[in-house]
Structure 1
Amino acid sequence: MSAASDPVKRRLTLRAPRAIAAAVAFAVTMASLPVPAAAQARLPLIRDAEIEQLLRDYTRPILKVAGLAQQNVKVIIINDRSFNAFVMDGRRIFVNAGALMDSQTPNQIIGVLAHETGHISGGHLAKLRTELANASTMAIIAVLLGLGAVAAGARSGQVGGNPAAVAMAAPTSMIQRSLLAYQRQHEEQADRAGVKFLTETGQSARGMYETFKRFADQVLFAAQGADPYLQSHPLPSERIANLAEIARTQFWDRKDPAELQLRHDMVRAKLFGYMDQPGVVARRYPPADASLPARYARAISTYRHGDIRQALAQIDALIQVQPNNPYFHELKGQVLLEGGRAAEAVAPLRRAVASAPSPLLIQVMLAQALIETNDPKSADDAIGYLRQAMLVDPDIPEGYAQLAKAYGRKGDLAQADLAAAQAAAARGDLRTARQLAARAKTRFPVGSPGWVKADDIASVQPTGPRPR
């Protein structure tokens, strides 16, 4: 071997392990889908009793006909203004706030939820993981074969690497096209399943069609000239043509009930009121608009931007129109609580808890108000509300945080540390959770229920790659 070939040999020696490592990393990354719970905890989520109740009502009949009623599938709201929805596992449908805000009718967002339910009922995530694992194995083999071609090229004096590049790129391109074809197939199946679920529940598929048609129009220009084999979704024109064929069921012209449309409009108004600047809210809901959603949005915007007295007057006017609306009382309690008037917040929050269909999140706020009254007797009341809420829905970090405060007010430092550890774990901060849990263990009798819970948290190890 000539001296001139030594640098080439050294480069091959260094690059081979890196290429294999990259392929293995690809395999591990793809096989790790869906996103771990700790990563989900770091998503910018929105928790709201009114919005979550509406989405439960939207999905309940869909999940029932899909055979998923017993799987406790939840809809999670992401604080993002773009229109998007997706699934990560068989128990969660993630919907951006923007999807709700852009959907003008319940049927439009229900169509999106029906499509995502189609992914869950079709087992697409499990199938995709299997396909990804197969593809990862193929990718590793392709890299190894490509490295062999590089070595052979080097031995034959073909240092330029063109044959080797072709040898490594061709299988990778084939794998990519195969995976994308697999995803396109799942999207088509989810569309058909969604239409089927809507039909079986006596709902129109028009909203689903309108939503995908709107997006098809938006991306039509970008899709011109695109390679149809390098897309994860069917091309817009193709997808809309297929939907137009299957969506026109006997319920095509059926409209949403007026009461449901009002609830939908109220939720959209709430989101606009919280997320937009006052000027934007005023343009969307001008003072001349006396509708209930417009008044709701303006009241929220007023409260969000500091005029508590005027906001309370606007909320009281809403309560006069709908005295049994739990979410108006919840909003009044929230304004009073955040305005430093915790004792006054208790009564409207108690009323909201008593009348809301699922008051868990409101119970947490009521508990916070009780704690901030600084009445020792109220701490026991707060702990009762929090324990009940967290038993049903343990994914409320603020609930654990308030529980830690309540136990702290009572001087129960063991339970306070345990609750604080649970709050950190629910936020995805495992390092802090383990530290607090370790301290809680020293305060509980060994083997007691509290000690066991603290030990479970203290023993949790972080997942994912470790820093070198």
Structure 2
Amino acid sequence: MSLRIVLRKKLSGGLAAVVAAAVTLAPLAPASAQQGKGPPILRDTETEVLLREYTRPILRVAGLEKQNIQMVIINDASFNAFVADGRRIFVNYGAILQSENPNQLIGVLAHETGHLAGGHLAKLRQQLATAQTQMIIATILGAGALAVGARGGGSGLANAGAATLSAPGEVIRRSLLSYQRQQEENADRAGVKFLTATAQSPKGMYETFKRFTNESLFAARGADPYLQSHPMPADRVEALEGLARQSPYWDKKDDPALQLRHDMVRAKISAFMERPDTVARRYPLSDTGLPARYARAISTYLHGDLRSALSQIDGLIQVQPNNPYFYEVRGQALLEGGRPAEAIAPLRKAVHLSNNAPLIEMLLGQALVASENKAYTDEAISILRAAVARESEAPLGYSQLAMAYGRKGDYAEADLASAQAAFLRGDNKTARELASRAKTRFAVGSPGWVRADDIVTAKPLSSQ
């Protein structure tokens, strides 16, 4: 499904406030995560496949190939990427859109992999725990000194106690920031190492951080280097350049076919996420390249001219008849244009060409259900069950499965699927109510009853 927004569960362990692996000098976590809502994420098969291909060789040389590291696209236009739990690399869509070539984005992903390989999050947790202990001891000692001073009627010990309360906090804060700066430098070095080991250029990584330097020079001017969580930009880039230029692959260019795929994904993101006038300026009619045509076709369907959009998409299919994502967009345009029965054929083609990508299967299941043809009910259930088995955190699959079961009259399974969808959306009250009702419809101890009971007794996603 093309760039659908879903709400991600809250980042675990309180890490939203202390994420060590952010690329930029901006706040380290999305605002929504800081508010406990969970960062809104984007789902798109084409983009996720490309990101996995970018990271796979890097994760392999980093010794993380078997760790099932996931790529998560954050709905944020700023250039940022970070890790938060040791299992996922989060990338703002803005980082993809603003990376002019694959190498620039791959460099950022190599840096984030450096954080994962170095176990920086676990180490930072330990540093925070140690700092917390130190603060508690300092507070107790300071409070004791204040009490002694007060009983003695003198101001000396009282003043000493006040100083004891205030000074350690500043020292500990500087120590933590110094530790984070060292982690960033280590991740830079690891990133260059991984790129070299995979015969890729570190130039893109250097170009990205150099751009950050140029953008942040004014903001960093006069700043205290000991109060920064990242190395001062100029120092960091200078060190990175010296390291990166030693690579024998410094001048290696991206493969043209990979560059085209990168540009296609950037075009798709622009079309879905930017205003139509912005898309028109970025991809004017004078640009006849495939990415520009892709962006204009999507933007056209999104903003009301379905007939023209379908004509443009058909033109894309003529150029690349085996591109599954062109058929996916065609099916989505028809589905959202109120013509679900016509969406089925192109979505079947997209599923086939994408090797049964589960997000596209969900879109096909949605079209089968929306067609209101009862002959498609069993097929929709089969496709959607297969999709959610491989993509268990997508609410759309469960909500469509609930509709298909309801149409068949299987209300126990319909309630269970609705409960699963609500749970994934973070609507815990509705999820428990539906799961409780599902339990009354299933035989006690049956697989459906057990799954429903798991939802009733589960800890809410927002608290995990």
Give distance in 2, aligned partners of 1:30 and 1:406: 39
- Other-structure match for 1:214: 211
Counterpart of 1:97, as a letter, is Y
Q: How do residues 149-168 of structure 1 correspond to structure 2 at under 5 angstroms?
A: 149-155=145-151, 156=153, 158=155, 163-168=160-165
- Other-structure match for 1:90: 86
2:246 corresponds to 1:253: no
Q: By how many angstroms is 1:283 displaced?
A: 0.9
Match of 1:284 among 282, 285, 298: 282
2:43 corresponds to 1:69: no
Give distance in 1, aligned partners of 2:313 and 2:98: 25
Give distance in 1, aligned partners of 2:235 and 2:17: 31
Backbone CA RMSD of aligned residues: 2.3
Counterpart of 1:242, as a letter, is A
Q: How do residues 24-423 of structure 1 correspond to structure 2 at under 5 angstroms?
A: 29=14, 42-155=38-151, 156=153, 158=155, 163-248=160-245, 249-357=247-355, 359-423=357-421
Give distance in 2, aligned partners of 1:219 and 1:33: 21
Question: Which whole-Å deviations, capped at 9, do the CAs of 1:57-99 have from their partners, x for residues lacking one?
Answer: 1111111111111111111000100000000112100000000
Gaps of 5+ in 1: 1-27
Kindly tell me: are residues 350 and 40 of structure 1, through their superposed partners in 2, closer, same or farther at Cα, counting changes over 3 Å?
farther
Counterpart of 2:74, as a letter, is I
Counterpart of 1:287, as a letter, is L
Question: Which whole-Å deviations, capped at 9, do the CAs of 1:261-309 have from their partners, x for residues lacking one?
Answer: 0000011011111111111111111111101111111111111111111
So what's the TM-score if we normalise by structure 1? Answer: 0.89
- Other-structure match for 2:454: 456
Question: Which whole-Å deviations, capped at 9, do the CAs of 1:153-173 have from their partners, x for residues lacking one?
Answer: 433354997544422111111
So what's the TM-score if we normalise by structure 2? Answer: 0.90
Q: By how many angstroms is 1:455 displaced?
A: 0.6
Give distance in 1, aligned partners of 2:34 and 2:230: 28
Do the aligned residues in 2 keep the contact of 1:38 with 1:428 (CA within 8 Å)? no
Do the aligned residues in 1 keep the contact of 2:393 with 2:424 (CA within 8 Å)? yes
Based on CA coordinates, which of the two structures has the bigger radius of gyration?
1
Instruction: State the SS of the aligned residue for 1:225.
Output: coil
Give distance in 2, aligned partners of 1:269 and 1:340: 25
Give distance in 1, aligned partners of 2:134 and 2:283: 56
Q: By how many angstroms is 1:212 displaced?
A: 0.5
Instruction: State the SS of the aligned residue for 2:265.
Output: helix
- Other-structure match for 1:428: 426
Counterpart of 1:302, as a letter, is T
Question: Which whole-Å deviations, capped at 9, do the CAs of 1:314-335 have from their partners, x for residues lacking one?
Answer: 1111111111111010000000
Give distance in 2, aligned partners of 1:235 and 1:38: 25
Gaps of 5+ in 2: 1-12, 20-28
Give distance in 2, aligned partners of 1:237 and 1:358: 47
Give distance in 1, aligned partners of 2:191 and 2:145: 47
Counterpart of 1:319, as a letter, is I
Q: By how many angstroms is 1:377 displaced?
A: 2.6
The alignment covers a number of residue pairs equal to 438
Q: By how many angstroms is 1:150 displaced?
A: 3.0
